[in-house]
Chain A
């Protein structure tokens, strides 16, 4: 059974940093691309960042480019999102999501974690 368990959310002041983690199990982690998707309170889904299974390719939404860094440790079956220079508009539930294939494009997201809440506020 595929399981994705996010952790690391919390309350951070504007300008601060935080790292989210996603522990994966139930599948061969290195064979699949992974994404982070967020949802601000009462709003729709916003894709944030993605990484191919090998880690060779990374993608970022314009809203986070230069501030967020996605990474993965395939030996630990874990996906990360390092978030710097946080803003109030980054407040959201952050979901870890698995793609159906090893590459990000032409590969839909087929499993989601339950999410971790990040609140950016003074």
Chain B
């Protein structure tokens, strides 16, 4: 099984900050990685797919990078609407999520 490890688990930040979340896979997944945003009581929302492709309608302040086993999600300038929990997911094999990163004030 491919294990996904996100860091940090919690991130405290302010509006306007540049934020970076890391996701590591236990073996190479090429670029088959997605990032999701989830707010309390809501379903997750796709932000990034294939490691660096921005989903339609997602603000350009979100970006993804990486390949193989190490990936990052960057929010260039944190906005009030961005305080949420973020999950990475590999889909090189059957889907597997990271444990999540909560971005809080």
Q: Which residues of A contact B (CB under 8 A)?
A: 35, 37, 44-47, 50, 59, 61-62, 95, 100, 104-115
Is there contact, CB below 8 Å, between B43 and A44? no
Is A115 in contact with B43, judged by CB distance below 8 angstroms? yes
Tell me the total A-B contact number using a CB cutoff of 8 A.
64
Whether the Cβ atoms of B43 and A95 lie closer than 8 Å is: yes
Contact check, B94 vs A109: say whether CB atoms are below 8 A apart: no
Q: Classify chain B: how many residues form its interface, as a range.
A: 20 to 34
* Interface residues of B, Cβ cutoff 8 Å to A: 1, 32, 34, 36, 38, 42-46, 49-50, 55, 85, 87, 89, 91-100
Contact A45 B34 (CB under 8 A): no
- Whether B95 contacts A35 by the Cβ 8 Å rule is yes
Whether A106 and B91, one on each chain, are in contact in the complex, defined by CB atoms closer than 8 angstroms, is yes
Q: Nearest chain A CB to B95's CB is how many angstroms away?
A: 4
